[in-house]
Structure 1
Amino acid sequence: MPMLLWGDASFLANPYPAYQALREAGPIHWSTEFFGGAWLLTRHADVEQVLRDPRFSAQRTGGWVTGREQARGELAGFQQLFARAMLFLDAPDHGRIRKVLNAGFKPAVLQALAPFIEDTVVELLDAVQGAPSFDVMLALARPLPTRVIGHMMGIEDAANADFAVWSDDLASFIGAPLPTHAQARRAQASLLAMGRYFEDLLARRRAQPGDDLVSRLLQAEAAGEIHNHAELLAQCAMLLFAGHETTRNLLGNGLQALLSHPDQWQRLQQEPALLPGAVRELLRFDSPVQYTGRRVTTTLVLHGQTLRRGDLVVPLIGAANRDPARHPQPDRLDIVGRDGGSVSFGSGPHVCIGAMLTRMETEIAFRQLLQRLPGLRLADAQPQWAANPAYRGLNHLHVVTG
């Protein structure tokens, strides 16, 4: 099978030719590049099936975190919190926790949040108004989702610089096909630091409940819908991490793609009503999440290969989104002619709970950029991509304003 050199600079800059070669070589491949080995799936239909099929379990953290003999005791605290996050739970626990959180992500709740998002975008862009150039990641893409999820959670110090460090350490661990012991230790330190932060916030919310996600989780704990304190802390940490990571990278990847296709940027200036469809196409074209993982719960056969109970399966979301069987001319950015249909937010029971929020933040931010900075251009010939093959995003995105 063609090798995917996950850490290679050319792969990180553009993984899609490698995905194409892998997909053309076959729908399923065994790879030793992941911890313990994994089955890689390349086609849209298979990726969607695995994300929906209960025979493929989201509970996959055990060997990942503590698979190395020397790590089992040292990383026990990490595993205790990490494994309880909704991302890594199956039914019925996943549905139980998702039901608690769903109320905070209903369309009416998010629409009521739109003025706060708009005001935040305006404030952030006001700070760079008149500058001949600026870094979109630093000025907008990083702070916006952090402030929004912080507002939703009732976090008063949403500009806390520690949040970005904690998120980066977790993303570095989750996004490595074979995380090093050092990456695992840093991720544990950051997750436990998040836990300590939320211990203080939870104590304040117990004394003074509010209308926010943390207060909602406390109410669910009191009602028995959240089963224990570790489960409560895990959801708080997961919300802060996930609420920041995907949106940040969609803002950066999406703007970089649009400015690399000036005709599409100009079309949006002429027809801003196309923005919702454009954001869906940008998600497909360069997904912030390039792959995820599942564990096989029962031996089965897929494309002639026997997948055994416990095997790791890696659905390659980035490859599925460029599958020509699902998306004709998949390497072409087309903000008008696509029907959506990407798997960038997952599919089935684990579809991203914050998908609507992420799209809304991106639409509002892009609308402001189009209105205020119509002459925006890329300043860097070579974008500075982060060394993370799973969470695809930019370290920096320098733009010229006129």
Structure 2
Amino acid sequence: MSVLRDPRFSTQRASRWINSSISHTGNAGNDCDSDNRAGGTQAHRSEIAELKEFKRIFARSLMFLNGSHHARLRKVMNAGFKPVMLQSVKPRIQALVKKMAANLEPDHGSRVIDFMNEFARPLPALVIAGMLGVDAADEKNFLIWSDQIAAFIGTPTPSMEVALLAQEGIVALNNYFSELLPYRRAHPGQDLISQLIAAELAGGVITTKELLAQCCTLLFAGHETTRNLLGNGMLCLLTNTAQRTALQHTPSLLPSALKEILRYDSPVQFTGRLLTADVQMHGQLMKKGDLVIPFIGAANRDPAKFSHPDQLDFSRDEGNHLSFGYGAHVCIGATLSYMEGEIAFNAMLPMLSRMVLEDATPDWGCNPVYRGLHSLKIRLTATTS
């Protein structure tokens, strides 16, 4: 918690982070002659230039800004996540969940569903796409581009190949929104893009390039955490009989259950910071310019903060988790994620007694930052007439 609110641990790390992917592909440290070193330097500069567009867009994201720039953009974006705005999209989320839950049901007997691919993955993407006012028909492309960016963010020292794919994804998103802006300027609505355009037209609040970067961030970050909350939460319910039963008997426990699921199996396991000064912590000296990895998942199971931290307990009341961050950079969409989770699991509660895991071993994804399931196979039995 102290690291996440300490200004010496800066979020302004995009260029440094992207450059780290280049340093791991060069020949630095090799015992080679001066001609090879010169060639390596030229190649290194070429790789830096190759990722220029990635750094340009990424560095404007709210996720990687500090101080007045961060405060200015966050104020603009907060307008889209106020309670009145979220309540206005709640009926649409409820309708989406109802339809998707119905599509899981077998006509008779039973069927095996993949909860991740049939529910948890598409739902948040459709929600944030709707809030942005973009065509849900483009969902497949959004998910591909998002996965490319997530693979980069999920690697503390990404390879050049991973960085190039992430650049491909974020440039594609940027181009998509660039083509959408003229129409939205001419036909504004109640969506987030229209709100950002209004701030842009007001002058001095947000630039067009900043606007595009925030759209990219929202579409990517708007579903990545929530889909893993849904998947991890469902796995928790199906593997913890006592807690599942308690929730089924007392549905009013759901808000505290979601909070506990986020603590117990955090969708975001760590984040990154760039040191702006030397810092001494726990007997270790960290130097200015170092990239630092604060482990959120570990903090959420700190025995100094939580009693029996490795146990799932929906009645737990021991303060907040850090799964959505803390301080100035707390996740702007945290309330939306909670709302999606509550609506989704409210719909799932009557179905839980008819669900059993099809596979004993969960199929986890390989991204170390975003802890989530690649698939979750569940056998769902039809309701009896």
Q: TM-score, normalised by structure 1?
A: 0.86
Of residues 86, 92, 96, the one that matches 2:72 is 96
- Cα deviation for residue 63 of structure 1 reads 2.1
Cα contact 1:253–1:394 (8 A) shared by 2:
yes
Q: Aligned partners of 2:172 and 2:114: how far apart in 1?
A: 28
- Cα deviation for residue 127 of structure 1 reads 1.4
Q: Aligned partners of 1:224 and 1:299: how far apart in 2?
A: 38
Pair 1:171-2:124 in alignment:
no
5 Å-filtered alignment, 1:3-402, equals 48-67=1-20, 68=22, 69=44, 70-130=46-106, 132-157=111-136, 160-402=139-381
Larger radius of gyration: 2
Q: Aligned partners of 2:54 and 2:75: how far apart in 1?
A: 25
Cα contact 1:346–1:352 (8 A) shared by 2:
yes
What 5-or-longer segments of structure 2 have no aligned partner?
A: 23-43
Deviations 1:314-338 (A, max 9, x none): 1100100011000111000001123
Q: Which amino acid aligns with 2:309?
A: P
Q: Aligned partners of 2:267 and 2:212: how far apart in 1?
A: 25
Q: Aligned partners of 1:135 and 1:225: how far apart in 2?
A: 47
Q: Aligned partners of 1:307 and 1:339: how far apart in 2?
A: 31
Cα contact 1:226–1:232 (8 A) shared by 2:
no
Distance 1:266 1:198, change over 3 A: same
Q: Which runs of 4+ in 1 moved over 3 A?
A: none
Deviations 1:138-157 (A, max 9, x none): 11101110111011111123
Q: Aligned partners of 1:260 and 1:119: how far apart in 2?
A: 28
Deviates more, 1:82-91 or 1:197-206: 197-206
Deviations 1:288-336 (A, max 9, x none): 0000011111223222322221111111001000110001110000011
Deviations 1:192-221 (A, max 9, x none): 000111011112101111111001111111
- Cα deviation for residue 373 of structure 1 reads 4.2
Aligned position for 1:42: none
Q: Aligned partners of 2:99 and 2:188: how far apart in 1?
A: 28
- Cα deviation for residue 226 of structure 1 reads 4.2
- Cα deviation for residue 62 of structure 1 reads 1.1
Number of paired residues?
Answer: 355
Q: Aligned partners of 1:126 and 1:354: how far apart in 2?
A: 27
Q: Which amino acid aligns with 2:3?
A: V
RMSD value over aligned CA atoms? 1.3
SS at the partner of 1:246? helix
Cα contact 1:297–1:310 (8 A) shared by 2:
yes
- Cα deviation for residue 76 of structure 1 reads 0.2
Deviations 1:254-304 (A, max 9, x none): 111111102211111110000000000000000000000111112232223
More helix by proportion, 1 or 2?
A: 2
SS at the partner of 2:378? strand
- Cα deviation for residue 53 of structure 1 reads 1.2
- Cα deviation for residue 161 of structure 1 reads 0.6
Distance 1:340 1:371, change over 3 A: farther
Q: Aligned partners of 2:14 and 2:142: how far apart in 1?
A: 23
- Cα deviation for residue 358 of structure 1 reads 0.4
Q: Aligned partners of 1:228 and 1:115: how far apart in 2?
A: 32
The share of aligned pairs that are identical, in percent, is: 49
Q: TM-score, normalised by structure 2?
A: 0.90
Distance 1:340 1:155, change over 3 A: farther
Q: Which amino acid aligns with 1:298?
A: A
Cα contact 1:290–1:392 (8 A) shared by 2:
yes
SS at the partner of 2:353? coil
Cα contact 1:146–1:159 (8 A) shared by 2:
no
- Cα deviation for residue 340 of structure 1 reads 4.3
